[in-house]
Each structure stands twice: as C-alpha cells, then as structure tokens.
Amino acid sequence: MSHPIRSYRDLEAWKLGISLTKRIYQITGGFPDSERYGLISQLRRASVSIPSNIAEGWGRGSTTEYARFLRVARGSMYEVETQLIIAKELAYLQDEELRRTMDETSQCGRVLSGLLKSIEAKLGRGTQP
C-alpha cells in the first residue's frame, strides 16, 4: 500500500535525488584537490540541484511551474551523468564505482521521468525532449 503524498519529501524522485547527492559527495571526496573548484564543485552543485528543483517546483503552487522545475532537475541529472563519465575518463573513478553511481542516477532519472510524465498529462502535454 502506498503512502499519500503530502510533501515533496514523500516523493520517491526527491528521496532518490538526496541519495544520489550523498553518493556524489562521497565519491568526490576522493578526487584530487586540484579539482576542488572544477569537477568536484560541478558534480556537487548539479547533484544538489536535482532534489532542490523537485522541492522548489512543488512549492511553486502551479502545475506548469512544477513541470518546469522537474525538467530542470532532469537536466541536472544528465549533467551529473556526463560529469561522472568525464571523471572516469580522467581516472578519478574506477569502473565499478562509475557503474554503481550511473545505476543510481538512472533509477533517479526513471522515477523523475515518470513524475514529469504524470504532471505533463495533467497539463495535457507530451514529454518534451
């Protein structure tokens, strides 16, 4: 039995975004200090943006605005994926760590896409690219 959604904190997409952000902070802790203002900062900001935009969109009180913020969150998720690949190419991540983190990112993306589709259906629109 599912629980009623009373807050953005009840949303699975938000919970997965928080979990992904925690993982990003953990793995970037092992990156070289020379990346402090580069890839570490970029990855952390992009990952924080995912649950933050889900929450902000929820709080806007408009379905149209909510959908817009969910799209921003989705864009941030793609940004995280890209930056993880760059980190792997720079040998900051091992194959297994990349795979686990990309799996977590993909799960977050699937749930976020489902949420966005349900919101867009309320608006009578299809999913935008």
- CATH 1.20.1440.60 is held by the domain 11-123: yes
In the structure encoding, which two tokens stand for residue 30, read together? 């092992």
Q: How far is CA 94 from CA 6, 29, 78, 100, in A?
A: 39, 14, 20, 10
Q: Given this model, what pLDDT does residue 81 score?
A: 97
Exposed e or buried b for every residue in 53-66, given b needs 16+ CB within 10 A? bbbbbbeeeeeeeb
Q: Given this model, what pLDDT does residue 122 score?
A: 87
For the chain, which residues make up each domain, given as ranges? 11-123
Q: Provide CB contacts within 8 A for 109, sequence distance 6+.
A: 74, 77, 78
Q: Given this model, what pLDDT does residue 33 score?
A: 96
Mean pLDDT by 10 residues, the chain (129 residues): 82 98 97 96 98 96 94 98 97 96 97 95 67
Q: Given this model, what pLDDT does residue 126 score?
A: 53
- Angular region, 91: left φ>0, alpha ψ -120 to 50, beta rest: left
